[in-house]
Structure 1
Amino acid sequence: MPVICNLESGQKGICGVRKNEDGRIVSENYGCVTALALDPIEKKPLNMFHPGSRILSVGSFGCNLKCPFCQNYQISMMRLEGDKDGLQPRTPDMMHISPQELARKALKYQKSGNIGVAFTYNEPLVGWEYVHDTAKLVKAYGMKNVLVTNGTASMEVLEEILPFIDAMNIDLKGFEEEYYHKLGGSLQAVKEFIIRAAAKCHVELTTLIVPGENDSDSEIRAEAEWIAREVGQHIPLHITRFFPRYHMQDKSATDVQLVYRLANLAGKYLDHVFVGNC
């Protein structure tokens, strides 16, 4: 199961976002936007959901995992000013955008090829209330909602947002429980999240291949076999190349040939395997 924080009054969770205020758990990043861009849908990555379209992508700050290789650590690990564990304080260019404002922006950019809103860049579900409130409005405008997530969330949260989400890209970090424990998560919880999400919306999966961590043939084979058996061989899988980031800047980028070899291996079990960052 996902790690569930039992917070004392005034205490903040490891995500740096959720806090106990007078016995009530609140999200401190509600409406706080650190990144906003009109991206190609393939950048999420989603290769089989409205290909060729664009989507208004929004990010905040905070994450409930501690991946030492985080590719977006500048915002995912951001903390508000005054947080003792903060890696960096809130930047002056953080802006507040209400759900109503964001939904209207999405509608405005329809003429530029926009199909909706993608909640991405950091882990959106640490502030799931904002995702829920915005996605509901975007849906009312007849537009699409996309969630890019690590899948580390309770089933209760997933059920709250699923009625409004059209597609997800879910990070499947690896396929060993011990590896997930190192990152602060649970492989079993992510498996359950994937199965439930795929039953309700379009799902694509991404595995970042980190040298010496999750790059064995046996692990990719086990992952691909599980996806085909428990979720469906039609589920797209993105095998992507790691580049040195965050606390792994001393590690070399993943060998391109290795990425292609693992993708070919996964392709023996799945119909759609894509290579990224090569």
Structure 2
Amino acid sequence: MIKVKEAMFYTKDNDKIVCKLCPHNCLLSEEQIGFCRSRKVINNKLYSLNYGKISAINLDPIEKKPLYHYKPGSYILSVGSFGCNFNCHFCQNYSISQFYLNGSYVMPSELIELALKYKSMGNIGIAFTYNEPSIFYEYIYDVVEHINEDLDIVLVTNGFINIEPLEKIIKKIKAVNIDLKAFNNKFYKEICHGNLQKVLETIKFMCKFIHVEITTLIIPNLNDSKDEINDLALWLSKIDKNIPLHLTRYFPAFKLEKEPTPINTLIELKNIAKQHLNYVYIGNTVALDNNTYCPNCKGKLIERMGFNVKSFLTSNKCPFCGYELKRFLTK
């Protein structure tokens, strides 16, 4: 049974190791663990500590990722490990992202076999989620190397990964939801301990190859200004105005104890974002319209009540006016 596995992206700098997986580029001494808490120097080599260690596994609706335009109404086997290369003050999954966990060891072949077993229940593949999947890299790499076209691979990620590792797996990934934490670098630096520009580079890169949706958790007085959301939506629209944007409601978690985001704020910001984007949704709340409408005729394409989904689509064309729907994949 594998306990640790040698990391794929690192260099040696005299008596130290430089991790090259993410833009932190951690410079590590012997026995030192990286910022992500999942990579360690052992005998002058860098090892992944979370290889195959599963902390959470569930069969989830694809909409829970959230992915609204990728095979709506499907289910996907969702898997998480431990660790993260951010330290967000508001982390919803801090119990697995910010601490070391042993988890249950699952070989890549076993995970693939389980995903295939659940196809009869509507499963379309495997989503790496819950904690940051990019620092689970070696395991994901081994899974995608052995998977076939019967299963889709999905990532739910903060997008903080170097381009070289991403290039090696991007052609095996089908869809991704990138958590764009904010549209100001001060927020990234002080609240997440990351870098906005590096995430924007990842978004632009991924949009060239696969289906991409974006999520931004709206936190009162931190990233909820009208100007910021306007700039965020405008930036996305310059890539493609059909990229779905999910504005989700914040609730107190981990180190942040602000009041939950007012519903009116979310509605107002949605209206601002829709000036630039065709598809904007509000998440983490109920009783709001999260249906999908045709950008051309406004006909209802998908009806959503929580995770209950009714699609009126039979192809990537609007059934009412024939408008071609871009960045939209039906079953």
Taking structure 1 as the reference length, what is the TM-score of the superposition? Answer: 0.92
Distance 2:107 2:99 in 1: 20
Which residue number corresponds to residue 7 of structure 1?
28
After TM superposition, list the pairs within 5 Å mapping 1:108-187 onto structure 2: 108-138=117-147, 140-182=148-190, 183-187=192-196
Does residue 28 (structure 1) correspond to residue 49 (structure 2)? The answer is yes
Q: Do the aligned residues in 2 keep the contact of 1:120 with 1:147 (CA within 8 Å)?
A: yes
Q: For residue 263 of structure 1, report the CA deviation from its aligned partner.
A: 1.1
Matched with 2:83 is 62
Distance 2:42 2:271 in 1: 50
Q: Give the corresponding residue for 1:83.
A: none
Q: Higher helix share goes to which structure?
A: 1
Identity of matched residues, %: 46
The one-letter amino acid paired with 1:262 is L
Give the partner amino acid of 1:267.
K
Gaps of 5+ in 1: 81-89
Q: Is the 8 A contact 1:107 1:141 kept in 2?
A: no
Residue 84 of structure 1 is matched in structure 2 by none
Q: What letter matches 1:202 in structure 2?
A: H
What is the rounded CA distance, in whole Å, between the counterparts of 2:144 and 2:77 in structure 1?
Answer: 12
Q: CA deviation at 1:137?
A: 2.4
Partners in 2 of 1:24 and 1:159 — Cα distance? 23
Higher relative contact order (CA 8 A, sep 6+): 1
Does structure 1 residue 227 correspond to structure 2 residue 236?
A: yes
Residues 90-131 of structure 1: per-residue CA shift (max 9 Å, x gap): 4xxx21101110001000000000000000000011121111
Query: 1:132·1:164 contact (CA, 8 Å) conserved in 2?
Result: no
Q: Structure 2: which amino acid aligns with 1:261?
A: E
Q: Which residue of 1 aligns with 2:97?
A: 76
Shift of 1:156: 1.0
Cα distance per residue 1:157-179 (max 9 Å; x no partner): 11122021000000000001111
Please state if 1:273 is matched with 2:292: no
**Equivalent residue in structure 2 for 1:17, among 29, 38, 54:** 38
The SS at the match of 1:246 is coil
SS in 2 for 1:243: coil
Which residue of structure 1 lines up, in the alignment, with residue 203 of structure 2? 194
From 54, 59, 63, the counterpart of 1:38: 59
Match of 1:244 in 2: 252
SS of alignment partner, residue 255 of structure 2: helix
Give the Cα–Cα distance (whole angstroms) in 1 for the partners of residues 189 and 114 of structure 2: 39
SS, match of residue 47 in structure 1: coil
Letter in 2 for 1:154: N
Paired residues, number: 263
- Give the Cα–Cα distance (whole angstroms) in 1 for the partners of residues 200 and 53 of structure 2: 30
CA distance in 2, matches of 1:214, 1:117: 31
Question: How far apart in 2 are the matches of 1:178 and 1:99?
Answer: 39
Superposed CA deviations along residues 212-239 of structure 1, whole A, max 9, x for unmatched, are 110000100010010111x211111000
Q: 2:215 aligns with which of 206, 210, 213?
A: 206
Alignment partners' CA distance in 2, 1:135 and 1:235? 25
Structure 1 residue 2: Cα displacement: 2.1
Q: Distance in 2 between matches of 1:24 and 1:227?
A: 39
Residue of structure 1 equivalent to 2:108: 99
Larger radius of gyration: 2
Q: Which residue of 1 aligns with 2:17?
A: none
Q: Tell me which amino acid in the other structure corresponds to 1:14.
A: F
